[in-house]
């Protein structure tokens, strides 16, 4: 007999999550998680919390879609529910401009593949019915590209990421929605990075019938909770006709536990699977905090602080290629080119959690989720500048910080 292997209790340090996500969860959300009592998934207050969360999610997302709720898990869990509408042989056009839309494209290819196509290349199928339109890393997907592809293909489904976190680019969701309407496609959108940061309302985009987001970016609720999804009636009607090859990730069945049955809000939810009262309490608190801050104000705050960070790293000699407001994607100064991963490792080793890009080309990503204050941005700028200097870059830190001061002073003067 070998001794059972028991490890000491796990300690995880608090780091500064200054990447694309997750963001540091608000202490009030963590408290809601830890202070919830143990109650089963059909207990009245757990169910009330789910129904209230559903209603708050509709406010946050600006939609009257009845099928708006959370999917237990991460962003890809919500995306899986949304993409489950795609059946083998379905005609799809997917626009890809970075890591995450690339993975979504893979999911789409797996779901749209026939049995033969899947068996021919099980991990990376290339179904004839799917067109992947690839836009170079660092560029946004624009109206002309979208319109041309949908006009040519006339697909049943079209897919795009709203904000592509891999390259830090915002894609043209207005053009996407319009082109879907014009060419008779049903639009599906990965809104993992934009929900809770961009000031937009689902109901302004009638060409998009499915939306999927995540818990840990703009909504700031990492204690593994719920990936928000929202589906228009057109999407739900389609699933009712075609069916869907999943019980747990079924867009209609999953909604029952949130009190959506037969297309209507009902006061008494039905069991779908076991939900955690802790997760419900945390998710509820995260939604409350976001709505209290106000989406429009939050969007302005992100834009303002991202501008400050972007100007500061530019003053250090970096080149910013992103246009998202929660994330700066940059090339290092020419003297440090090629040493991106080393720099990121150095930063991460001291609890400053920045990221490289996950697909080519290698760039550095610095995020500001939940760091939208002057001291927080100043801290990030100081740590990043020090890391560059440690690797031999000549940084005029006093000049960089003076520039940062001017950004904030000008804002204060304008108020
Ligand atoms: C982070 C991200 C994902 C993946 O989300 P997980 O929570 O890691 O599953 C998908 N799409 C986009 C655009 C993202 O930013």
Domain boundaries, the chain: 27-291, 295-414
At residue 1, the pLDDT reads 64
Q: Which of 74, 75, 359 to mutate to test the pocket of ligand 1 (most atoms within 8 A of CB)?
A: 75
Fold of 295-414: 3.90.1150
Backbone CA torsion sign across 31, 37, 38, 44: negative
Atom of ligand 1 at shortest range from CA of 227: 7
Ligand 1 centroid to residue 76 C-alpha, Å: 6
What is each CA distance from 212 to 45, 120, 256, in whole angstroms?
26, 30, 18
Q: Are strands 260-261 and 264-265 parallel, antiparallel or unpaired?
A: antiparallel
187 forms beta bridges with 158, 208
Task: Provide CB contacts within 8 A for 92, sequence distance 6+.
Answer: 86, 108, 112, 129, 130, 131, 155, 156, 157, 158, 159
CA 383 to chain centre: 25
Ligand 1 centroid to residue 275 C-alpha, Å: 22
Q: What is the pLDDT of residues 140-180, one digit of tens each?
A: 999 999 999 999 999 999 999 999 999 999 999 999 999 99
In this structure, the residues whose C-beta lies within 6 A of any atom of ligand 1 are 21, 74-76, 100, 161, 164-165, 190, 192-193, 214
Task: Provide CB contacts within 8 A for 408, sequence distance 6+.
Answer: 308, 374
* pLDDT for residue 415 is more than 80: no
Atom of ligand 1 at shortest range from CA of 161: 13
Task: Provide CB contacts within 8 A for 335, sequence distance 6+.
Answer: 317, 392, 393
Q: Enter the CATH code of domain 27-291.
A: 3.40.640.10
The reported pTM is 0.97
Atom of ligand 1 at shortest range from CA of 98: 13
* pLDDT for residue 44 is more than 90: yes
Confidence of residue 411 (pLDDT cuts 50, 70, 90): confident
Confidence of residue 412 (pLDDT cuts 50, 70, 90): confident
Looking at ligand 1, which residue's alpha carbon is closest to its atom 2? 192
For 65, how many CA atoms within 13 A lie in the half-sphere containing its CB? 32
């Amino acid at each position: 007999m070998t001794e059972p292997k028991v490890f000491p209790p796990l300690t995880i340090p608090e780091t500064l999550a200054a990447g694309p996500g997750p963001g540091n969860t608000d202490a009030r959300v963590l408290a809601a998680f830890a202070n919830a009592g143990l109650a089963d998934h059909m207990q009245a207050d757990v169910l009330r919390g789910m129904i209230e969360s559903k209603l708050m999610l509709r406010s946050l997302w600006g939609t009257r879609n009845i099928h708006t709720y959370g999917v237990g898990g991460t962003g890809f869990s919500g995306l899986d529910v949304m993409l489950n509408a795609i059946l083998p042989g379905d005609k799809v056009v997917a626009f890809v401009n970075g890591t995450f839309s690339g993975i979504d494209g893979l999911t789409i290819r797996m779901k749209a593949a026939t049995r033969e196509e899947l068996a021919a290349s099980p991990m990376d199928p290339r179904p004839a019915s799917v067109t992947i339109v690839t836009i170079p890393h660092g560029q946004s997907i624009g109206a002309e590209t979208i319109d041309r592809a949908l006009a040519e293909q006339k697909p049943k489904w079209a897919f795009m990421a709203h904000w592509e976190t891999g390259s830090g680019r915002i894609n043209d969701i207005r053009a996407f929605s319009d082109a879907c309407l014009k060419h008779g496609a049903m639009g599906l959108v990965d809104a993992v990075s934009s929900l809770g940061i961009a000031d937009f309302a689902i109901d302004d985009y009638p060409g998009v019938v499915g939306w999927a987001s995540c818990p840990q970016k703009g909504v700031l609720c990492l204690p593994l909770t719920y990936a928000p999804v929202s589906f228009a009636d057109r999407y739900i009607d389609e699933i009712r006709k075609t069916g869907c090859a999943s019980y747990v990730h079924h867009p209609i069945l999953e909604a029952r536990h949130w009190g959506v049955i037969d297309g209507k809000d009902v006061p008494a939810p039905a069991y779908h699977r076991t939900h955690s009262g802790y997760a419900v309490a945390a998710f509820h608190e995260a939604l409350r905090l976001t709505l209290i801050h106000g989406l429009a104000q939050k969007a302005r705050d992100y834009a303002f602080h991202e501008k400050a960070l972007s100007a500061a790293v530019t003053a250090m000699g970096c080149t910013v290629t992103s246009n998202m407001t929660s994330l700066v994607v940059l090339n290092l100064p020419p003297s440090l080119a090629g040493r991106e991963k080393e720099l990121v490792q150095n930063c991460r080793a001291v609890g400053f959690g920045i990221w490289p890009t996950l697909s080519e080309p290698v760039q550095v990503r610095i995020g500001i989720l939940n760091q939208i204050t002057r001291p927080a941005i100043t801290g990030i700028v100081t740590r990043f500048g020090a890391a560059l200097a440690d690797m031999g870059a000549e940084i005029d830190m006093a000049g960089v910080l003076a520039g940062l001061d001017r950004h904030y002073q000008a804002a204060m003067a304008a108020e």
